[in-house]
Amino acid sequence: MTEFIYDAYRFVQLFASSIEDHPLLIYQSALPFTPVDTLLFKTFTAHSTPRVFDGYHKSWPPLLQVLKGHKLSVHDLAFSPDGTQIASGSFDLTIRVWDVSSGALLLAPLQGHTGPIYSVAYSADGRQIASGSEDSSVRLWDVILGVPVFPALTGHTDRVFTVAFSLDGSRLASGSADETIRVWDTTTGSDVLGALHCPGGFVGCVVFTPDGQRLLARASGNAIYGWDLSTGMMTLVLQGHNDDM
């Protein structure tokens, strides 16, 4: 029974779009492509079932699902901390939130950015998603309600390439092509420190230390920079890489 349930689970995962589009044609559109050594295939296939004679699978392939819905390129992905959701940010100006088990959309597409979305991140409690966009703004979304927490967080003057939450979720950092980092209070939406200038060029990655007291950034050059968030002062420059990171 366990084997059959597993087969059924993988069958639905792999052929969800075919089942949704043609629910009455499962024997023609999905079963022929089911791995031939599975209990499900052996149980339900018949002489009248179409067969694949070349390129068939004997067992379930590593691919679990294909999530479709975005209309343009997907630029960034993030798992929720509990692993049950995936957030995707796309050049179609939307963020989509997917259920990992079923592949279903959990919310209507999150819309508000006016430019392609470059980055998405979950808060540690999984209740908020942050996004950064070509429109120079950062947005914070309530995952439960599917609505913005605040109006757009503005201050950057160029594309926002990266966003990251502190571990306690109280702060959100964003890095931009304007060569600055900004740190936002997630309860008020305020800019905590003003622009932190990064001497290495556009900022492609930001990360908080676990205690939330420092922020590290990777710029377009080959160095890593660190700031003390209690003062806003740069306190660390790590060099040694020989090319851009």
**Under a CB-based contact definition with an 8 Å cutoff, are residues 17 and 68 in contact?**
yes
Number of CB atoms found within 10 A of residue 34's CB: 24
Tokens of 20: 């949704």
Output the pLDDT for position 54: 67
Least confident of 4-13, 85-94, 136-145, 183-192: 4-13
Tell me which residue of 99, 105, 96 sits closest to 129, measured CA to CA.
96
Q: Which of 206, 10, 16, 4 is nearest to 98 (CA)?
A: 16
How big is the chain by its Cα radius of gyration, in Å? 23
pLDDT at 58 over 90: no
pLDDT value at 56 more than 80: no
What mean pLDDT comes out for the span 143-156?
Answer: 96
Residue 86 tokens read as: 């995936």
Q: Tell me the pLDDT band of 244, cut-offs 50, 70 and 90.
A: low
Answer CATH for 74-239 from 2.130.10.10, 3.40.50.720, 3.20.20.70, 2.120.10.30: 2.130.10.10
Strand order, beta sheet including 138-142: 117-122, 128-133, 138-142, 147-148
Task: Write the pLDDT tens digit of every residue in 17-55.
Answer: 777 777 777 877 788 888 888 988 888 887 777 777 666
Q: Domain residue spans in the chain?
A: 1-66, 74-239
